[in-house]
């Protein structure tokens, strides 16, 4: 495993699928970026989604809009919060993308997760719920990426006489990229050929 250094930027390994990986059962991993286009002022929210049941046509399009009469059930993985107060890990289990009320999202197929890493005896949830605790190997691997704490300085701090230092803002996008890198290095995720390009464009 590569040695990490301060300021390490994920290399998004695993672009080429190994023959061993391709013979195992896998599940597609999708990246959803909120909004029709990149936000002009603030970073868009990014989430990971794994389909479980329902209408696959919703996730095979490049743009996701609310479909009140259709069902697309799956699990959402993300961190929520902001750069001023910090973030928290969350899994939205059995989330219905078809009835999501958060507006349109851009959707990308970015890789395949080993199906065996998604199993767990204690995650048989019938109804949708929000879960802050990882339950399976895939989720435990994702949270090896540090959850971002506060990184946005207040006006009072910026205006003080303390030496000014450049602060690199951490958010849901930076965490998601690092979490994906953890899954790739753990050998439970292989990325598509264009995943590095999609993930390499913070928006």
Q: Calculate mean pLDDT across residues 146-164.
A: 59
Give the whole-angstrom CA distance, residue 181 versus residue 176.
9
Whether pLDDT at 155 is above 60: no
Provide the pLDDT for residue 166. 46
Q: What is the pLDDT of residue 58?
A: 78
pLDDT in tens, 88-122: 999 999 988 877 666 678 899 999 999 999 987 45
d(CA 108, CA 203): 14
Q: What pLDDT does 188 receive?
A: 96
- pLDDT tens-digit series, residues 183-196: 999 999 999 999 99
pLDDT score for 66 = 64
How confident is the model over 14-52, as pLDDT tens digits?
444 444 566 789 999 999 998 777 766 678 899 999 999
- Give the integer Cα–Cα distance in Å for 44 and 198: 14
Residue 47, pLDDT score = 94
Q: What is the pLDDT of residues 51-96, one digit of tens each?
A: 998 888 878 777 776 666 778 889 999 999 887 888 999 999 998 8
- DSSP secondary structure letter of residue 164: P
- Tokens (6 digits) for 19: 């023959």
How does residue 203 score in pLDDT terms, banded at 50, 70 and 90? low
Q: Is 157 helix (H, G, I), strand (E, B) or coil?
A: helix
Alpha helices (H) in 54-200, listed in sequence order: 57-60, 137-142, 155-159, 172-185, 195-199
Q: Which residue has the tokens 């695993």?
A: 14
Rounded to 5°, angle at Cα 146 from 129 and 149: 85
pLDDT band at 180 (very low <50, low <70, confident <90, very high): very high
Between CA 83 and CA 150 the distance in angstroms is: 5
């Amino acid at each position: 495993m590569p040695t990490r250094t301060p300021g390490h930027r994920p290399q998004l390994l695993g672009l080429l699928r190994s023959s061993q990986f391709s013979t195992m059962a896998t599940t597609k991993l999708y990246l959803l970026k909120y909004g029709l286009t990149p936000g002009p002022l603030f970073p868009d929210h990014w989430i990971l989604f794994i389909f479980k049941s329902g209408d696959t046509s919703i996730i095979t399009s490049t743009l996701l809009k609310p479909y009140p009469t259709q069902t697309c059930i799956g699990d959402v993985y993300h961190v929520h919060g902001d750069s001023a107060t910090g973030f928290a890990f969350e899994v939205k289990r059995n989330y219905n993308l078809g009835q999501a009320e958060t507006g349109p999202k851009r959707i990308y197929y970015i890789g395949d997760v080993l199906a065996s890493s998604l199993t767990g005896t204690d995650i048989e949830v019938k109804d949708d719920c929000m879960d802050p605790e990882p339950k399976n190997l895939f989720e435990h691997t994702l949270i090896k990426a540090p959850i971002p704490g506060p990184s946005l300085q207040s006006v009072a701090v910026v205006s003080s006489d303390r030496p000014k230092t450049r602060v690199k803002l951490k958010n849901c996008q930076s965490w998601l990229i690092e979490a994906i890198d953890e899954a790739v290095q753990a050998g439970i995720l292989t990325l598509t050929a264009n995943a590095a390009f999609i993930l390499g464009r913070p928006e």
